[in-house]
Amino acid sequence: MRQNTDLQMARAASAERFLAVARAIKEEAGVVTHRVRKKLTGRAWSASGLIQAPEGKTRQQLYLLAHEAAHVALKHQGSGIPKHRQEYEAEVWAHAILRRHGISVPRCMTRRAKLYVAWSIVKDERVGVEPIDADARRFSRSATLLQ
């Protein structure tokens, strides 16, 4: 019984820590409004500072929130930057800010980020976006190294 109580307390402490980091990330990025999503998906409107993302109670939720906050911080909306480059920049920004706040990013999450950038490249290639950003391509190609 004591183990369950200890585990519950540890989870609650972790959630509080992640939520504090989420608040700091949103402030740094310039997020004005955060609409909480229950699903592990997100969207960002950088022109208005609005994100839709999970609350940030878990590491995965916090990563998604950081990714969406990155789009606001980097002012991607209406920038003319190809979508694959925007997604690459958001992934790199999310990794960096989480590390800066002392949150490690597991390899499986990094791999998922790289696969997401790879998928964004494929979608941009299908609609004729040229050239494909070399940094984004390099980043996405290294996904297979982390299996």
* pLDDT 10s digits, 44-82: 999 999 999 999 999 999 999 999 999 999 999 999 999
* pLDDT above 80: residue 1: no
Q: What is the mean pLDDT of residues 102-121?
A: 95
pLDDT of res. 147: 40
| Domain residue spans of the chain | 2-146
pLDDT of res. 145: 45
Tens digit of each residue's pLDDT (9 = 90 or more) over 135-147: 999 999 877 544 4
Q: Which has the closest alpha carbon to 59: 9, 93, 102? A: 102
What is this structure's pTM?
Answer: 0.92
**Rounded-to-integer distance, Cα 100 and Cα 138, Å:** 23
